[in-house]
Chain A
Amino acid sequence: MRRTKLLQTLAPMTALALLSSGCLSDGGSTATSGTGTGNAGKTVEIMTGMTGDNLNALKVSLDPYAKEQGITIKWSPSDNFNQLIVTRVQGNNLPDIALFPQPGIMKDLAAKGRLAPLDDILDMPTLKNSMTAGTLEAGSKDGKLYGLMASMNVKSLVFYPKQAFESAGYEIPKSIPELLALTDKIRSAGKTPWCLGIESGPATGWPATDWMEELVLKYGGAAKYDDWINHKTKFDSPLVRRAAGTFEKIAFTDGNVLGGRKSISSNNFGTAGNPMFRNPPGCFMYKQGNFVAAKGFFPDDVVADIDNRVGVFGFPPATAGGDNPVEGGGDLAGLFSKDNEAAKKLLQYMATKDFGAAGAKTGAWLSPHKDFDVANYPTQTIQNIAKIAYQSTGIAFDGSDAMPGAVGSGSFWKGMTGWISNQQSLDQALKAIDDSWPAS
């Protein structure tokens, strides 16, 4: 009987496990990292946090090549990616490739020696020329590349209702002061300049962290932004306070935001921008990442006619014509074993500059290569978004995704939510975030 046998075999295991719990493990470095190598049948498991259209776009780009090479890809998508990868790595049940949406965990695994460096596998000089500035750095740890960006997103975008915006004679601001002036101008005309919503279920607050990151990046530049992400600059610092001040001016001034300050924390980020497309528009600007211009967020009729109805500009720099880094993000492909030939092949293919033409045509995927042919993107709007990234002085990875989880998906979200919903002061919020930074 199979069951009896199983029980018999499990019994000594239990005893063993009980005994072995007598001493602490050394953080999992006793890894046998063998699970990733045994791909005799050339099946490559790719774990990813990408789902839906975004994932499909990647699939149509990668699957034909894999098939050609005789590799079967086992896609393991899950929006519980972070939980799952942490559990599976600790449980020593590794996929072959993982696409990390947040570099924090990836770097952590790299530091523990669980990921293979990609420098020897990929053609680094070509890659350095081809990738948008900042995207390689986002996947690097101690000078070595561990995560290759396989899909890019752009955050520094402001959407507006094209016809209404243009017929009112508004001009695209070229600096933050111009943006503030435009805000005042719209408000004094008796209209509402901004839509703003940060509700996102368990992740409530993240759109507000994007705002803060945007402003810190524009005011401080890429280097100071990095210092901040690594906590060399505290949250309670002049730079962050300056950013908070500008955010406060935009979001808390009466009449600036549809529904006022009190509605920000309960307004869902996914639909907050939709009043823009009413006639007359409920608001004129909505800052959000590129994903919001896809099916599922803006109303279907707007998405269907996106080039005529939606305008988009890059969030302006601190001073007109000044240094203009762009905030973005992406999914970073990490490799668990350097001896995994099939997985290596897939990564090498993903690193080529033309990779993703098929996926780009779906409109749900952006290439991180600045020399990628933008004609592949199906709409003018997406081409504009891609160009904002490709022509920037560099991509700075979404700060909250790059900070330790305790801050980036914890106290930073909660602090911003608390401050905006007026349950704590800015001082309290900044201090709480600083205090939550893990000691290491």
Chain B
Amino acid sequence: MLIKTINAVLAVIAGVGGALVLFWVLNRLVGLLPGRWEDRLKPYVYIGPAFLAISLYLIYPAIQTIHFSFANADSTAYVGLDNYTSLLGSAGFRSTLVNTLLWIVIVPAVTIALGLGIAVLADRLRPRAEKLAKTAIFLPMAISAVGAGTIWRFVYATNPPGEPQIGVQNAIVTGLGFDPVNWLQITDFKFNSLELMVMLLWAQVGFSMVLLSAAIKGVPADTLEAARIDGASERQIFRKVIVPQIRGTIITVFVTVTIGVMKLFDIVYVMTNGDFDTNVIGVQFFNELFTNFNNGHAAAIVVMLMIAIIPIMVYQVRQFRTEEAGR
């Protein structure tokens, strides 16, 4: 076992060191070329290894997926657009899309708001308190999906009336003299989906908090001081000084969380598996692949996701241009 530990350490050194040496050697090799060529080739040298990894683990499977989306359940014959038409034609899938859209509209925005709020507020605390507060928010991120499912079971669980309740919410409700509520089955106003979103927020706000907090720490102190001396209120400083400077990070987090929500799977799967009208596209994909063994449908869902991401990326490109111009 000691050997294994040593091996792991060696692997880190060899891996990181190896990658370094690789870059250094490539850099040198390109450096030997005449200047014009050097400038042309160098970017590709820097991107090369990353691109190779992505080609293998993402691009190739993505191409295969596009390909399979035009084929039947076990990818043995082409069926044209059947997968798309049959999915889009089913009422169940359309309501899945609606649910997913709801998640996309609500979750990224709230994640940013909460993460930013906590990062800003914690920034005002004494260092030790700040650390404590951030750790509390980060804590749920460290819990595995199975663990999180167990935790929230103790929040939403429903036992028959008259029995002791092991879920916090129903303990309160029955303590007030009411009958227990089937929390995850309330479909009015998509209440049960909202409850699942609470779970994701709980688990993911740590992500936005860490990134935004790092960005806030990067805002030069002098710009803040200057604004204060000019008599700006804290609220104005937040809006006019901090937010513009961390805008790039906010967008980064927003896009990342949006993508995460688009393929969201585990929380909904563990809690309801899409029952009671809570289905989302990630769960649908999983069930097409591993319950229905329908490669065609599963692939078509992924392709639709890839298409749906395009508007977000267009926005990102525009953002690039502004950045470039302002730099």
Contacts and interface: CB of A to CB of B under 8 A. Distances in A.
CB atoms of A and B under 8 A apart anywhere in the complex? yes
A418 B271 CA distance: 16
A11 B22 CA distance: 15
Contacts, number: 125
B291 interface: yes
Contact of A203 (B157, B180, B273, B290): B273
Interface residues of B, number: 51
Contact of A7 (B49, B149, B290): B49
B157 A268 contact: yes
A223 interface: no
A392 interface: no
B308 interface: no
A25 B293 CA distance: 16
Interface in A1-37: 1-4, 7, 10-11, 13-14, 17-18, 21, 24-27
Nearest to B183: A266
B73 A265 contact: no
A204 B56 contact: no
Nearest to A23: B67
Nearest to A268: B157
B193 interface: no
A275 interface: yes
B157 A204 contact: no
A38 B274 CA distance: 43
B292 A410 contact: yes
A119 to B, nearest CB: 27
B182 A82 contact: no
Nearest to A82: B290
A282 B163 contact: yes
B161 A259 contact: yes
B314 to A, nearest CB: 26
B290 A86 contact: yes
Nearest to B159: A267
Contacts of A423: 185, 187, 276-277
A140 interface: no
B185 A421 contact: yes
A83 B63 contact: no
Contacts of B290: 82-83, 86, 405
Contacts of A24: 67-68, 71, 75-78
B287 A25 contact: no
A107 interface: no
A375 interface: no
A437 to B, nearest CB: 11
A414 B14 CA distance: 51
A169 interface: no
Given A3-B15, A265-B182, A11 B287 contact: no
Contacts of B274: 414
Contact of B18 (A3, A258, A282, A404): A3
Contact of A27 (B14, B75, B276): B75
A296 B71 CA distance: 45
Interface string A200-217: 011111000000000000
With a 10 A CB-CB cut-off, give which of A10, A14, A83, A282 has the most chain B CB atoms. Answer: A14
A172 B269 CA distance: 40
A405 B289 CA distance: 10
Nearest to B55: A14
A208 to B, nearest CB: 12
A145 B161 CA distance: 49
Nearest to A29: B76
A177 interface: no
Interface in A363-414: 404-406, 409-410, 414
Interface string A244-270: 000000000000001110110111100
Contacts of A52: none
A438 interface: yes
Interface in A411-425: 414, 417-418, 421, 423
B160 interface: yes
Nearest to A423: B276
Interface string B130-160: 0000000000000000000100000001111
A370 to B, nearest CB: 34
Given A7-B52, A438-B73, A438-B292, A21 B63 contact: yes
Contacts of A259: 159-163
Interface in A180-235: 201-205
A405 B185 contact: no
Contact of B184 (A1, A266, A406): A266
B52 to A, nearest CB: 6
Nearest to B72: A24
B270 interface: yes
B19 interface: yes
A202 B269 contact: yes
Contacts of A265: 182, 185
Interface string B288-316: 00111110000000000000000000000
Nearest to A203: B273
Given A258-B163, A405-B291, A421-B182, 7 more contacts: A10-B56, A24-B76, A24-B77, A201-B270, A266-B185, A275-B163, A414-B275
What 3 pairs between A and B have smallest CB-CB spacing?
A259-B160, A3-B18, A266-B158
21 contacts: A1-B18, A4-B18, A14-B52, A21-B60, A21-B64, A24-B76, A27-B74, A108-B293, A201-B271, A202-B269, A202-B272, A259-B161, A262-B182, A263-B161, A263-B180, A266-B158, A282-B162, A406-B293, A410-B291, A414-B274, A421-B276
